Amino acid sequence: MDRSDSLLKADRGIIEQLRQGGTDRRRSEEQLFSRFSYFIREGITKHALSEDDAFNAYSDTILVAIENLINAGFEGRASLKTYLYQIFHNKCVDLIRKKTTNKNSVNRSESISDRLLLLSDSSRSVLQKLIDKADWNLLKEKLGSLEDKCRQLLLFWGDNYSDKEIAAMLYYKTADVVKTSRLRCLEKMRRIYNIT
């Protein structure tokens, strides 16, 4: 069977919009969330999760899926529903396991590591130690205290929007202006973070 055959028209539409980026991406993220939100009820009934936990498992599923769909990590071998359900099921199992073993800590090094793949082990180790020292709550607090445009810019950057997309959404003239502004915002962050 052709891979694209297993994808419904609606699924293909959502994936295309996600990959188009910009405001289309935001809309299609919400469409994707709504399309399979009945999984939350399944999390409650089949995995005996609370509504909050089932919602979190499903939201995390969508966040992972968005990233994979944008970065072509999803190959379309299965339907979008099957693909999402597999992730969701694993998230539910993870949640149950974390609850029973009481391991709720966030492993940030893991999520950053894909950016460090090309570095040597020793370089990665140096970096990892420095990153682990960061005060995440303070970083987020300072991020929240930035002026609105700067904060928006960094949030879009963190959400993997390209400078070109950010330029369109936040009304900058060019992607280069976004880049310059982003680096300035980073500098502001450094100043207010270090003052503390």
Q: Site residues for other proteins, window 143-182 (CB under 8 A)?
A: 143-144, 154-160, 179, 182
Q: Considering the complex, what minimum distance in angstroms separates the CB of residue 125 from other proteins?
A: 9
Q: What is the largest CA-CA distance in the chain?
A: 60
Cβ burial of 11 (10 Å; 0-12, 13-18, 19+) is buried
Q: Considering the complex, what minimum distance in angstroms separates the CB of residue 192 from other proteins?
A: 11
What single-letter DSSP state applies at residue 77? S
Q: How many residues bind other proteins (CB under 8 A)?
A: 46
**C-alpha span between 151 and 159 (Å, rounded):** 12
Q: Considering the complex, what minimum distance in angstroms separates the CB of residue 1 from other proteins?
A: 32
**C-alpha span between 76 and 65 (Å, rounded):** 12
115 lies in the site for other proteins, by CB under 8 A: yes
**C-alpha span between 52 and 58 (Å, rounded):** 10
Q: Which positions ≥6 away from 11 have C-beta within 8 Å?
A: 79, 80, 81
Q: Site residues for other proteins, window 26-85 (CB under 8 A)?
A: 29-30, 33-34, 37, 40, 55-56, 59, 62-63
Which two structure tokens, joined as six digits, stand for 14? 């959502």
Q: Considering the complex, what minimum distance in angstroms separates the CB of residue 152 from other proteins?
A: 10
Residues at the site binding other proteins, with contacts judged by CB under 8 A: 29-30, 33-34, 37, 40, 55-56, 59, 62-63, 108, 111-112, 115, 118-120, 122-123, 126-127, 130-131, 133-134, 136, 139-140, 143-144, 154-160, 179, 182-183, 186-187, 189-190, 193
